[in-house]
Structure 1
Amino acid sequence: MGKVTTFASWLTKWFTAIVIVWAVFNYVVPQASLWGKSYTGYLLSIVLFGMGLTLSLDDFARILKQPLMIILGTVAHYVIMPLIAVVLCWIFHLDGPLAVGVILVGCCPSGTSSNVMSFLSRGDVALDVSIGILSTLCAPFMIPLLMQFLASQYVEIPAQQLFLTALKVVLIPVALGVICHMIFGESIAKVTPFLPIVSQLAILLIIGVVVAVNQGKLFSPETALAIPVVILHNLSGYGLGYGFSKLMYKVYPKGFRYAQQKAITFEVGMQDSALGATLAMSAFAASPITAIPSTFFSVWHNISGSILSSWWRNHDDRHGIDAESANGEHGEMAKQG
């Protein structure tokens, strides 16, 4: 078991680099992952089933105990990221499937990678996880609704298919995971160390499939604009997420402290791009490039999240900012508020 834990830690540490190498490999050798085109939904279900296995009733009780912060964080995510996507499509004059792909990844729930980044930056991981749970549970309802409202000007949105696919690959696997946790209890602890490995390998396979399917168009003039758009989308999400949490600190200083501000920053800016790619491959199968923004996002947000979490930790150490700081104050004032 020690070797499994060590490997899981190693995989998490180097996941960003592995994602880049794997994406490049599938771009050069697309045949390596084309076989998985029909299985992306199952792969994502495995990831979310694993997420469900790690959840207990206490995790859901936390949402009821801290409803304000968790609900506001989730609302911020579902307002900020979709609207940024629409604005960027307008600024860059994106149209058709590529615009739909940008908006689709913007409408997805928070990415699981945000939990890791929040931990590395000394943010409030419990809040991060809670917002992630709620945003994921809302996904089957929010994604079709937002897509119909924001993206129907580009193509006809199969709202019912989006809902059913999201229900099948999100809610049902999570619910089954939670039920298994409730039934088998402590026995689940025996498989818990394997879950990060299984989840990350499944995400890698999804990325490989999308890269392989779009190999000929990944860096074509038609899709090249997706790269700066995705980068700006993610960075704007961080900035507006942090700005929102800073504003909320003035309204509710006991809740939106420094650690919570970090968590909300990552929860707003990081998307479940694997879900975006899976939904694009399913609901917009006739236009595979719809999945390209999610693929770029999957690679980029791991890079940016790693950089931001590392910078935040080093910044706090350099200026003597305590993890329990009220609002990021330096030195002795850190824990006041």
Structure 2
Amino acid sequence: MNFLNTISKLAGKYFAVLVIVVAAIAFFSPDQFSWLGAYVSILLGIVMFGMGLTLKAVDFKLILTKPVPVLIGVAAQFIIMPLAAFSIAYLLDLPPAVAAGLVLLGSVPGGTSSNVMVYLAKGDVALSIAMTSFSTLLAPVATPFILLMLAGQWMPVDPAAMFLSIFQVIIVPIVLGLLIKRMFPTAVEKSIDVVPLISVTAIIIIVAAVVSGNVESIASSGLLVFASVVIHNAFGVLLGYLAALAMRLDETKRRAISLEVGMQNSGLGVSLATVHFEPLAALPSAAAAVWHNITGSLLASFWSKRKVGKEEGIDSEIQPTGKAQ
């Protein structure tokens, strides 16, 4: 088990590098990975099951005891990112499928890897986890509604079918994880450090499946897709920080909200795009799986070297889950 724990920590630490390497292999040898496309939703369900295993009651306590920072962060997540994606799609005149895919990326909840980045950045980890949990629970309703409003002009959106998909691949696995943890707490506690390895593996396979199935599209429009994801991520990180600053939240909370708003659940974006849109729409989320972890790591490293004064927002007893997006 110690060996697996070590491998799990290394996988989480070098997640972005692993994604880049596997994506490159899948691009040049697509036939080896194309068959994985049928398992994207199942793989995402595994990631969400892992999230359920790691959730604690204290993760939701902050929503009730100090709701203002959580609500500000989640509102920014579901307002700033979709509108930024919509604006970028228009300004760059993206192809319809890519435009819809970028709006989809902006409409999904926060990614769980942001919790690790916030911890490394000396941000408010409790707030980060609460935002991730709350936005994830809101996703079955919020994501289809936002897509219907903003992406319907580019691709047909079936909000009822999308609600069902999100419920199946997110809510059901999370609830199962919570039930398993409640029924077998000792066994779960002993094996919890391996969860990041499972999550990282699942996301890497998802990216490989998407890349291998869209080699021609990536070759023709990959640079444009990547540019849109980079700009979108920069808007999220910057505007998330400014929103927290405008509400006079302390520095630890500004860092948490900035990273939470800027980093999305790209695995969910890939899954929904694959099922409900055409394959090209999955490219923004696939690119985000790489880029968000790179910028998150760089920003966390930058902030970690800067003191935040009285770090009253950090709950030292709450540790990040360490899972990938």
TM-score by length of 2: 0.93
Alignment pair present for 1:265 and 2:258: yes
Residue 323 of structure 1 deviates from its aligned partner by: 6.3
Contact 1:145 1:159 in 2 (8 A): yes
Contact 1:77 1:110 in 2 (8 A): yes
Partner SS for 1:157: coil
Residue 56 of structure 1 deviates from its aligned partner by: 2.4
Contact 1:56 1:182 in 2 (8 A): no
Distance across 1 between alignment mates of 2:210 and 2:66: 38
Q: CA RMSD in A?
A: 1.4
Residue 325 of structure 1 deviates from its aligned partner by: 7.3
Deviations 1:181-207 (A, max 9, x none): 222223310120110000010000001
Deviations 1:44-76 (A, max 9, x none): 000000100111223223322222221221111
Residue 280 of structure 2: aligned partner: 289
Distance across 2 between alignment mates of 1:310 and 1:58: 27
Distance across 1 between alignment mates of 2:308 and 2:279: 46
Percentage identity across paired residues of the two chains: 37
Counting only pairs closer than 5 Å after superposition, residues 1-337 of structure 1 correspond to structure 2 as: 1-221=1-221, 223-249=222-248, 256-284=249-277, 287-314=278-305, 316=306, 320-322=307-309, 324=311
Contact 2:252 2:308 in 1 (8 A): no
Structure 1 window deviating more from structure 2 (54-63 vs 226-235): it is 54-63
Q: Mind listing any 5+ residue stretches in structure 1 that lack a counterpart?
A: 250-255, 327-337
Distance across 1 between alignment mates of 2:176 and 2:308: 41
Residue 321 of structure 1 deviates from its aligned partner by: 4.4
Distance across 1 between alignment mates of 2:113 and 2:32: 25
Contact 2:234 2:262 in 1 (8 A): yes
Which structure has the higher relative contact order (CA within 8 Å, separation 6+)? 2
Residue 7 of structure 1 deviates from its aligned partner by: 1.4
Residue 318 of structure 2: aligned partner: none
Contact 2:72 2:244 in 1 (8 A): no
Distance across 1 between alignment mates of 2:42 and 2:300: 31
Contact 1:259 1:323 in 2 (8 A): no
Distance across 1 between alignment mates of 2:135 and 2:220: 33
Distance across 2 between alignment mates of 1:217 and 1:76: 31
Give, as a single letter, the amino acid of the residue that structure 2 aligns with 1:231: V
Contact 1:122 1:323 in 2 (8 A): no
Residue 226 of structure 1 deviates from its aligned partner by: 1.3
Contact 1:123 1:323 in 2 (8 A): no
Partner SS for 1:156: coil
Distance across 2 between alignment mates of 1:322 and 1:70: 22
Distance across 1 between alignment mates of 2:158 and 2:165: 11
Give, as a single letter, the amino acid of the residue that structure 2 aligns with 1:58: V
Pair 263,5 (structure 1): closer, same or farther in 2 beyond 3 Å: same
Q: What is the count of residue pairs matched by the alignment?
A: 313
Distance across 1 between alignment mates of 2:187 and 2:72: 35
Structure 1 window deviating more from structure 2 (175-184 vs 259-268): it is 175-184
Residue 332 of structure 1: aligned partner: none
Give, as a single letter, the amino acid of the residue that structure 1 aligns with 2:201: L
Contact 2:251 2:308 in 1 (8 A): no
Contact 2:206 2:267 in 1 (8 A): yes
Distance across 1 between alignment mates of 2:68 and 2:187: 34
